Amino acid sequence: MLMRLAFATIIVGIISGFLVTIYELLIIFTTHLFFAGDPYKTVSTLPVWYLYALPTVVIFIVNYLTSRDKNIREYGVSEIANSIMQNKMTIKLKTLFFKIISSTLSLSSGYMVGTEGPSASIGAMVAYHIHKWFKLPSFLIKMLISVGASSGIAAIFVSPLTGISFAIEQIAYQFLKRYISYLIVASVIAFSISVNFLEPIIFKYSHGKDINLKLLLYDFAFIPYITLFIYIYLFLKKRVLHFIDLEVFKNIAKYRNLIFSIIGGAVVGTSLLIEPHAAFSGKDVVIYLINHNNHIPLLLIFAILILRIIGTTVSIYSNAVGGLFLPLMSIGALVGYSFAEILNYFHFTSEGFYFAAIGASVFMGVIMKLPLTALILSLETTFDYNVIVATGIILFFVDRLSGIFFDIQRKYITKEDKIEKSE
């Protein structure tokens, strides 16, 4: 049985790696189709009405699909976690297909969502069917679904350690002691396939193990700065939009999706019109900010930053299908870069890419309650001890400061977690 399990794990990793790669390439293809090429280059040549019509029509289609199957709009990872805990598979093949279509349409039209949810669903579905084909014992279905979801995440992140840690914190922590080796094998295999086709996030300016103690002073000054923007993000999401969703739309609930679709299309269209980098998942923004040494005007950085904060929160309420990992990273990278530029303005020499790398990890780690993943992300993308030490320290303080006024809960919480918390 162990040989069958090991072979099944390898097969899950291989198939998940290829399918997730196809999913990401489908997003790229559809984006170029919608915008007649690279959107960062072609948006300025397209009619203004088209930039507003595209995301509005797309989100209407996505909302129609989600009205037919409510599981489509879930971000995916919570479904996987609950499937594991309940020893059953809740994601049907039809649901998975429409989830991928909805996610592709959302991301390709400019909505600020990520790709980890559908990717986890792809890996989990592969694992579910492999479990049946190999006729493995029923008690292994939890473990194999967990392995599949983990391999899907590792493939889409093009990052084995970050993908593994994300999966452990979100999904596979129940099986860590017994089955971690299988999770690692499937994740590494899926990553080794996707890395040949997709672009990983790599930090070009790493100083390795050379610690610059002078940077620690700047690091502590960065704590209240990034906390301010986390407050802005949470205030908009939890106070403003949540209030509108529950209170303002209370008496017109049947028009809720229609109104938010129009709002979502307007926000995305405006973002595309003002600055295309303010739209889409944000991966290109992160890669650019942490790997370019030229100075970007502060006004432009703040414009993109505010647009991305508004766009990401509105995308969620508009039911755009996707995750939050990359959008939150992009917001954090912009916050970090702007902080460095402010330091330079007051003649405190600082590098934008350094704080962009820290900000990307911290913002995502605090909002999604993934401290281990954030720390490993900073390690794997930069291999710079200055970034790793700063990320760990800033994460600790910002997490506690953010908890003073906002109750940030782990997004993908299982039903068992809720029961345990209530007890």
Distance of CA 349 to the CA centre of its chain: 31
The rounded mean pLDDT for the chain is: 88
Q: Which of 124-138, 188-202, 356-370 comes out lowest in average pLDDT?
A: 124-138
Report the C-alpha gap between 321 and 225 in whole angstroms. 30
Q: What does the pLDDT read at residue 416?
A: 41
CATH number of 2-194: 1.10.3080.10
Average pLDDT, stretch 115-143? 87
- 130: pLDDT confidence band, cut at 50, 70 and 90? very high
With a CB cutoff of 8 Å and minimum separation 6, the contacts of 157 are 116, 163, 166, 191, 200, 325
Residue 191 near residue 15 (C-beta atoms within 8 A): no
What's the whole-model pTM score? 0.90
Report the C-alpha gap between 39 and 29 in whole angstroms. 11
Residue 20 near residue 119 (C-beta atoms within 8 A): yes
How many CB atoms are located within 10 Å of the residue 1 CB? Answer: 9
Q: What is the DSSP letter of 278?
A: G
State whether residue 248 is helix, strand or coil: helix
Torsion of CA 107, 267, 249, 408, to 10 degrees: 70
Nearest to 105 by CA among 194, 18, 33: 33
Q: Which of 96-110, 142-156, 159-173 comes out lowest in average pLDDT?
A: 159-173
């017109």: which residue's tokens? Answer: 252
Which tens digit of pLDDT belongs to each residue from 173-186? 656 667 778 888 99
Domain boundaries, the chain: 2-194, 214-416
Report the C-alpha gap between 378 and 396 in whole angstroms. 14
Q: What are the start-end ranges of the H helices in 38-92? A: 39-42, 48-68, 77-86
Say yes or no: domain 214-416 is CATH 1.10.3080.10. yes
Distance of CA 101 to the CA centre of its chain: 18
pLDDT more than 90, % of the chain? 60
Report the C-alpha gap between 89 and 96 in whole angstroms. 12
Which is higher by pLDDT, 378 or 143?
378
Amino acid sitting at position 79? E
Which tens digit of pLDDT belongs to each residue from 381-416? 999 999 999 999 999 999 999 999 888 776 544 344
Torsion of CA 415, 417, 422, 423, to 10 degrees: 120
Nearest to 107 by CA among 149, 153, 59: 59
Q: Is residue 79 predicted with pLDDT exceeding 70?
A: no
Q: Is residue 38 predicted with pLDDT exceeding 90?
A: yes
Which tens digit of pLDDT belongs to each residue from 3-29? 889 999 999 999 999 999 999 999 999
Q: What is the DSSP letter of 249?
A: T
List the Cα angle 392/76/104 in 5-degree steps. 100
